[in-house]
C-alpha cells in the first residue's frame, strides 16, 4: 500500500471512530474541511522528551484546498500593482520573504507565556509551517530564540490582531529573557486592520468571521483559542502535551488562513475599497453579513473585468451563504451549487463543492458517489476506491 493510501485509510478510520462516538452522544458531528484533503499536508515532529521544546513542521502542497482556494493560488498575492493603503506595505516583497504568524498564550496578563508560536512561509509553491511548542514555562527563552532565528531571513510578517496582541506579547517576553526584539527588522501587516478598513468597522471581527465569509472555510469541532489558558493549566499540572495538542492544530489552521486572506484581499480592486468610510453607527449583523458577501465575490468580478481570468481567483465564484443558515440549508446550498457548476462545465468548482459536502457530512452518499465517479473518470484509482469504500458507512 502506498504512503498516500495509508494516510487516507488512517484518516478515514479516525473519522469513522469520531462519527460513531458522535452518534452515540446525539446529533452527528461535523468535521473540519480537511476531512478529505488533509493528506496533502505532511506533518513531522521532532522527538522530544516531556520536558523539552517541541518543533513541529508541516507542509501544505500547492494542490491542497483550504476553503475556496488552493494553496498554490494563495501564493500568488498579486496586490503589488493595484492595492494602496495597508497592503501596499508589502508590495515589493516576493512571497518567500513573508512570514505568517500566530501564537497561543497561557493568558492575557503581561506574565503569560506564548506556549505555541506558529510561523508559515512560502517555498516553491508550498506553504511550510513551523511551530515551537513548549510544555513548561522554563522552555520559553529557547522557543523565542528558535522563532527569532527563522525571522532573520524574512522581510515582512503578516498577523491577525498582531499589532495589539501577538507582536507586543512576543516582544515583551523577549525583553523579559534579555533577548533582542525579533521583529526589529520586519515590516508588519495586520490583516485585522485591513479587514476593518474594507468594511468600515472600528471594532469587532474575528478570524473565524473572515474565514467563513471570504474563504468559505468552516471550522466545526475546533477548539477555540479562548480555551488556551485552561488547556495550558492542565498541561503544566500533569497532562503534558496532550492537553494542548488540539490548540496546536487550531494554531496551524489559523496561520494557513492568514495566507488565504492575504491572497483574497490582494485580489480586491484596491484603492476605492481599502479607504475606510466613516462609521456613524455600529454595523448590524445583517449589514455585516451582506457586506462580507459582496466583498467575497468582488475579486473574481474585478479580475474578469481586467481580463485576468487566471490570476488566482476561483473561476465562477460561488455566492457565499449566510453563515447563520442551518446546517441542512448549507448542505442543500452546496448540492444545488454543485449541480449548477457541473452543468456549466466548471469541473474544479463542482468538485470543490463535493469535497465541502463530504467534509461537513462524512457519510453523504450523494457526494461520496459523485466524487468516486469523478476520480474514476480522470484515472485516479486510489481516490476513487477511497470514496467508494466510504459508501459502506
DSSP string, 208-228: HHHIIIII-----SPPPGGGH
Residue range 178-194, pLDDT digits in tens:
999 999 989 898 999 88
Query: Please, are residues 262 and 236 in contact by the beta-carbon 8 Å criterion?
Result: no
Predicted TM-score (pTM) above 0.85: no
Query: In this structure, which CATH number among 1.10.1140.10, 3.40.50.720, 1.25.40.10, 1.10.287.990 belongs to the domain 1-30+325-393?
Result: 1.25.40.10
Higher pLDDT, 80 or 224: 224
Mean pLDDT, residues 135-146 taken together: 94
Whole-number pLDDT of residue 58? 92
% of the chain beyond a pLDDT of 90: 31
Whole-number pLDDT of residue 88? 62
Residue 300 scores a pLDDT above 80: no
The model's confidence at residue 253, banded by pLDDT at 50, 70 and 90, is: very high
- Angle (CA) 355 361 364, round 5°: 80
Residue 376 scores a pLDDT above 80: yes
Map residue 173 onto helix, strand or coil: helix
Please state which CATH number belongs to domain 32-317.
3.30.420.10
Q: What is the residue whose three cell numbers read 491542497?
A: 64
The domain limits of the chain are: 1-30+325-393, 32-317
Mean pLDDT, residues 35-42 taken together: 41
The model's confidence at residue 101, banded by pLDDT at 50, 70 and 90, is: very high
pLDDT-wise least confident of 105-114, 245-254, 264-273: 264-273
pLDDT-wise least confident of 98-112, 259-273, 286-300: 286-300
pLDDT-wise least confident of 74-88, 161-175, 242-256, 325-339: 74-88
How many Å apart are CA 66 and CA 54, to the nearest integer? 26
Grid coordinates of 308:
485576468
How many Å apart are CA 105 and CA 137, to the nearest integer? 11
CB atoms inside a 10 Å sphere around CB 153: 10
pLDDT-wise least confident of 57-66, 129-138, 264-273: 264-273
Rounded to 5 degrees, φ, ψ at 195 are -60, -40
Please spell the DSSP secondary structure of 177-205, one letter per residue. Answer: TT---TTTT-EEEEHHHHHHHHHT-SS--
Average pLDDT, the chain: 74
Query: Please, are residues 70 and 63 in contact by the beta-carbon 8 Å criterion?
Result: yes
Mean pLDDT, residues 282-299 taken together: 45
Query: Please, are residues 205 and 174 in contact by the beta-carbon 8 Å criterion?
Result: no
Whole-number pLDDT of residue 368? 85
Residue range 213-222, pLDDT digits in tens:
788 888 777 7
Cα Rg for the chain, rounded, in angstroms? 21
Which H or E run contains 263?
helix 245-267
Whole-number pLDDT of residue 86? 57
CA-to-CA separations, 302 to 54, 157, 268, 385, in angstroms, rounded: 44, 27, 7, 40
Residue 385 scores a pLDDT above 70: yes
Grid coordinates of 11:
484518516
Residue 293 scores a pLDDT above 60: no
Query: Please, are residues 158 and 167 in contact by the beta-carbon 8 Å criterion?
Result: no
Query: Please, are residues 144 and 176 in contact by the beta-carbon 8 Å criterion?
Result: no
Amino acid at each position: 500500500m502506498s504512503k498516500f493510501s495509508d494516510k487516507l485509510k488512517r484518516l478515514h478510520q479516525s473519522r469513522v471512530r469520531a462519527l460513531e462516538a458522535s452518534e452515540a452522544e446525539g446529533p452527528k458531528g461535523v468535521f473540519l474541511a480537511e476531512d478529505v484533503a488533509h493528506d496533502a499536508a505532511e506533518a513531522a515532529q521532532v522527538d522530544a522528551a516531556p520536558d523539552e521544546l517541541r518543533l513541529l513542521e508541516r507542509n501544505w502542497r500547492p494542490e491542497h484546498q483550504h476553503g475556496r482556494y488552493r494553496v498554490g493560488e494563495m501564493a500568488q498575492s498579486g496586490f503589488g500593482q493595484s492595492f494602496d493603503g495597508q497592503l501596499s506595505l508589502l508590495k515589493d516583497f516576493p512571497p518567500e520573504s513573508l512570514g505568517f504568524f500566530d501564537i497561543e498564550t497561557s493568558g492575557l496578563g503581561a506574565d503569560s507565556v506564548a506556549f505555541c508560536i506558529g510561523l508559515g512561509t512560502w517555498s516553491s509553491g508550498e506553504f511550510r509551517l513551523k511551530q515551537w511548542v513548549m510544555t513548561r514555562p522554563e522552555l520559553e527563552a529557547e522557543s523565542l530564540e528558535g522563532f527569532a532565528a527563522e525571522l532573520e531571513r524574512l522581510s515582512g510578517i503578516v498577523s491577525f490582531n498582531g499589532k495589539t496582541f501577538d507582536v507586543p506579547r512576543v516582544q515583551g517576553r523577549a525583553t523579559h529573557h534579555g533577548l533582542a526584539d525579533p521583529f526589529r527588522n520586519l515590516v508588519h501587516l495586520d490583516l485585522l486592520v485591513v479587514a476593518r478598513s474594507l468594511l468600515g468597522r472600528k471594532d469587532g471581527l474575528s478570524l473565524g468571521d473572515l474565514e467563513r465569509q471570504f474563504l468559505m472555510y468552516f471550522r466545526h469541532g475546533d477548539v477555540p483559542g479562548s480555551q488556551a489558558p485552561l488547556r495550558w493549566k492542565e498541561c503544566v499540572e500533569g497532562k503534558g502535551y496532550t492537553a494542548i495538542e488540539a490548540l496546536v492544530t487550531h494554531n496551524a489552521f489559523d496561520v494557513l488562513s492568514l495566507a488565504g486572506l492575504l491572497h483574497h484581499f490582494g485580489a480586491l480592486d484596491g484603492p476605492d475599497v481599502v479607504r475606510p468610510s466613516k462609521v456613524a453607527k455600529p454595523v448590524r449583523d445583517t449589514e455585516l453579513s451582506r457586506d462580507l458577501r459582496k466583498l467575497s465575490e468582488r475579486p473574481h468580478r474585478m479580475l474578469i473585468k481586467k481580463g485576468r481570468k487566471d490570476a488566482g481567483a476561483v473561476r465562477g465564484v460561488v455566492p457565499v451563504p449566510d453563515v447563520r443558515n442551518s446546517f441542512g440549508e448549507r448542505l442543500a446550498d452546496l448540492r444545488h451549487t454543485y449541480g449548477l457548476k457541473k452543468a456549466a462545465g466548471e469541473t474544479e468548482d463542482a468538485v470543490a463543492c463535493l469535497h465541502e459536502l463530504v467534509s461537513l457530512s462524512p457519510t453523504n452518499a450523494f457526494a461520496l458517489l459523485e466524487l468516486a465517479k469523478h476520480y474514476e473518470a480522470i484515472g485516479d484509482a486510489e481516490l476513487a476506491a477511497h470514496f467508494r469504500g466510504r459508501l459502506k458507512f
